[in-house]
Structure 1
């Protein structure tokens, strides 16, 4: 602690290790996440806990927690737009986007957010919305980034 300000001298929060998502049926939800994203169980399923715990590729845990109450994982921003609580970082966003569309996953809001990257929103079977992002300028050559943009936004590329 700084004696002058009383504040910590460094950022004490390092990362998000777990995210909790309300679901109706943890095992069915876990199977959906495994089928569409390749997630696997972080720990064996324990029915007494009423949650399935899956591992993301970087080690974070996604807790699919059974609820009987309303599922409301979104909130409106000041302008009234429905917002999501979580953005997943991905590589090869165009491949994931196509795969989810082909598999019948509800996908919406494909957007090129410039220096923030390319994003889209998808919904799980319980209606939870999640954002997906790839900062193509940071992870690809300029030529590759333009190819991805032209592929995902063909109307813009034609101009």
Structure 2
């Protein structure tokens, strides 16, 4: 290990503070995020910046950046599956899933990813793909997890 390496440790990268998402119309996109997720502006909209900046519950910022270019926020993994860039952590995933479906948001089916929890994928107005996750076994009692999975995935108890 070099001397310079000792100055750094694993806790230097603490969290992601901002995520930048390409959109065609930042204000329209911000309204969509507000309607579907209850996000609020982190700072007032400044048309000169051509972006709307919203704040997630834990303080991270979601920058909705206007682009004239092609929007392609996905990439294929080695098996050819179109990956999303990041996953949102949520609680009560089934309620969010139902709300997004009711609001006409494009969502894929809920998936039981076992130790990773329950997930689903959704798309924003510009076709950007996102993943949503609840590690249910960490946040719910075992009997709640069983009942939820039985209801969502028609598993036998």
TM-score normalized with structure 1 length? 0.93
Change in 2 beyond 3 A, CA 1:150/1:7: same
- Given that 1:117 and 1:133 are in contact with CA atoms closer than 8 Å, whether structure 2 keeps it comes out as yes
Cα distance in 1, alignment partners of residues 108 and 75 from structure 2: 17
Runs of 4+ in 1 over 4 A off after TM superposition: none
What is the aligned partner in structure 2 of residue 86 from structure 1?
A: 86
Q: What aligned pairs does 1:50-61 form with structure 2 within 5 A after superposition?
A: 50-61=50-61
1:130 aligned counterpart, secondary structure: strand
Q: How much does 1:131 deviate?
A: 0.1
Cα distance in 2, alignment partners of residues 118 and 8 from structure 1: 39
Q: How much does 1:151 deviate?
A: 2.1
TM-score normalized with structure 2 length? 0.94
- Given that 1:2 and 1:8 are in contact with CA atoms closer than 8 Å, whether structure 2 keeps it comes out as no
What is the aligned partner in structure 1 of residue 139 from structure 2?
A: 139
- Given that 1:118 and 1:134 are in contact with CA atoms closer than 8 Å, whether structure 2 keeps it comes out as yes
Cα distance in 2, alignment partners of residues 69 and 120 from structure 1: 28
- Given that 1:74 and 1:129 are in contact with CA atoms closer than 8 Å, whether structure 2 keeps it comes out as yes
Cα distance in 2, alignment partners of residues 58 and 45 from structure 1: 20
What is the aligned partner in structure 2 of residue 25 from structure 1?
A: 25
Deviation by residue 1:45-102 (Cα, 9 ceiling, x = unmatched): 0000000000000000000000000000000000100000010000000000111111
- Are residues 1:10 and 2:9 paired? yes
Cα distance in 1, alignment partners of residues 141 and 114 from structure 2: 15
Q: How much does 1:108 deviate?
A: 0.5
Q: Structure 2: 5+ residue runs without aligned partners?
A: none
Cα distance in 1, alignment partners of residues 5 and 113 from structure 2: 38
2:108 aligned counterpart, secondary structure: strand
2:71 aligned counterpart, secondary structure: coil
What is the aligned partner in structure 1 of residue 153 from structure 2?
A: 153
How many residue pairs match? The answer is 156
1:33 aligned counterpart, secondary structure: helix
- Given that 1:118 and 1:136 are in contact with CA atoms closer than 8 Å, whether structure 2 keeps it comes out as yes
